[in-house]
Chain A
Amino acid sequence: MTSSTRVPEAADMLRYLAQRLLALLPTVAVPLVLVFLLLRLAPGDPAAILLGDSATPDQVAALREQLGLNAPLWEQFGRFLGDVVTLRLGDSLFLGKPVVDVIPDYALVTLEISVIALIVALALGIGLGALAAFRNGRPAGRIATALGIIGISVPQFVVALILIVVFAAWLHWFNVGGFVPMSKGFWPHLRSITLPALSLGIAESAFVARITRGAILDVVREPFVTTARSLGVAPRRIGAVHVVRVAALPIMTVAGLLVASLLSGSAVVETIFGVPGMGRLLLDAVGRRDYSLVQGIVLFTGLFVIIVNLLVDLSYSVVDPRVRLGRKSA
Chain B
Amino acid sequence: MRHDVRPNRRVRRLIPLAALAAASALVLSGCGADGTTSTGSISDGGEPQAGGTLTVALSATPSIIDPFATSLQADWVIARQVCEPLFDVSTSFEIGPVLAKDLVDNGGGSYTLTLRDGVTFQDGEPFTSADVIASLNRYFLTPGNGSILKSLTTSIEAVDDTTLTITLNTPSPLLPTLLTTAYMMPASVVKDRPITDPVSDLVCTGPYKLTSYAADGDVVLDRWDGYKKLDTPGDGGLGAKNAYADQIVFTPMPEASTRRQATEAGQVDIGGSLSYDDYDSVSSGGVAQAVLLSPTSGSTVVFNKAQGIMSNVAMRQAFLAALNMDDIMLAAFGNPEFYSVDGSIIPEVNSTWATDAGTENYNKPDLDRVKKLLDEAGYKGEPIRWLTTKEDPSWYGPSLPAQQQLKEAGINIDLQVIDRASVIQLRTDPTAFDLFSSGIPTYADPVLLPYLQQTFPGTWVSPDRDALLAKLSTESDPAARKATWEQLQTLVYEDLPFLKFGTSRPLLITANRVHTEHPDELAGWYYNTWLDQS
Contact = CB atoms under 8 A, between A and B. Distances in A.
Contacts of B70: 50
A49 interface: yes
A217 to B, nearest CB: 40
Contacts of B367: none
25 contacts: A44-B424, A48-B428, A53-B438, A54-B144, A54-B145, A55-B71, A55-B143, A56-B143, A57-B455, A95-B63, A95-B215, A96-B196, A105-B214, A106-B216, A168-B262, A177-B57, A177-B251, A178-B218, A178-B251, A276-B214, A280-B216, A281-B216, A284-B60, A284-B216, A287-B391
A276 B63 contact: no
A58 B147 CA distance: 12
B261 A164 contact: yes
Contact of B197 (A96, A176, A274): A96
Given A66-B196, A96-B197, A56 B453 contact: yes
Given A52-B72, A52-B144, A177 B253 contact: yes
B71 A52 contact: yes
A169 B281 CA distance: 15
A156 to B, nearest CB: 13
Contact of A59 (B143, B254, B419): B143
Interface in B425-454: 425-426, 428, 438, 448, 450, 453
A42 B455 CA distance: 24
Nearest to A44: B421
Given A44-B422, A96-B69, A280-B216, A176 B258 contact: yes
Q: Which of A49, A178, A180 has its CB near the most chain B CB atoms (within 10 A)?
A: A178
Given A43-B425, A45-B428, A169 B143 contact: no
A274 B143 contact: no
A243 B82 CA distance: 64
A45 B391 CA distance: 17
A56 B216 contact: no
A169 B271 CA distance: 15
A49 B72 CA distance: 9
Interface string B402-437: 000000000000000011111011101000000000
Nearest to A180: B218
Interface string A275-290: 0100011001001110
Contacts of B455: 56-58
Interface in A149-185: 161, 164-165, 168-169, 172, 175-181
Nearest to B72: A52
Given A59-B147, A274-B252, A169 B198 contact: no
A271 interface: yes
A164 B418 CA distance: 31
B400 interface: no
Given A49-B424, A54-B143, A59-B147, A164 B450 contact: no
A19 B92 CA distance: 68
A45 B424 contact: yes
A47 to B, nearest CB: 9
A172 B265 contact: yes
A110 to B, nearest CB: 12
B365 interface: no
A55 B144 contact: yes
A51 interface: yes
A289 B426 CA distance: 14
B71 A276 contact: no
A272 B178 CA distance: 38
B265 A45 contact: no
B32 interface: no
Interface of A: 42-45, 48-60, 66, 94-96, 102, 105-106, 161, 164-165, 168-169, 172, 175-181, 271-274, 276, 280-281, 284, 287-289
A302 B86 CA distance: 49
Given A54-B71, A57-B455, A181 B255 contact: no
A52 B265 contact: no
Given A48-B424, A57-B455, A287-B420, A181 B251 contact: no
A66 B197 CA distance: 13
B215 A276 contact: yes
Interface string B207-229: 00000001111100000000000
Given A95-B215, A96-B196, A179-B217, A274 B258 contact: yes
Contacts of B342: none
B2 to A, nearest CB: 31
Given A44-B419, A54-B450, A175-B267, A280 B425 contact: no
Contacts of B421: 43-45, 49, 287-289
A56 B147 CA distance: 10
Given A177-B267, A274-B255, 7 more contacts: A53-B438, A54-B450, A55-B144, A177-B253, A274-B57, A276-B214, A289-B421
A106 B266 CA distance: 27
Contacts of B264: 169
Contacts of B428: 45, 48, 57, 60
Contacts of B49: none
Contacts of A172: 265-266
B283 interface: no
B257 interface: yes
Interface in B241-297: 251-255, 257-259, 261-262, 264-268
Nearest to A178: B251
A274 B251 contact: yes
B384 interface: no
B64 interface: yes
A169 B265 contact: yes
A101 to B, nearest CB: 11
Contacts of B450: 53-54
A45 B457 CA distance: 14
Contacts of A164: 258, 261
B64 A95 contact: yes
Q: Which 9 A-B pairs have the closest CB atoms?
A: A52-B71, A54-B144, A44-B421, A276-B216, A55-B143, A274-B253, A43-B422, A176-B262, A177-B258
Interface in B149-182: none
Contact of A45 (B144, B268, B425, B453): B425
Contacts of B418: 43
A268 to B, nearest CB: 10
Nearest to B145: A54
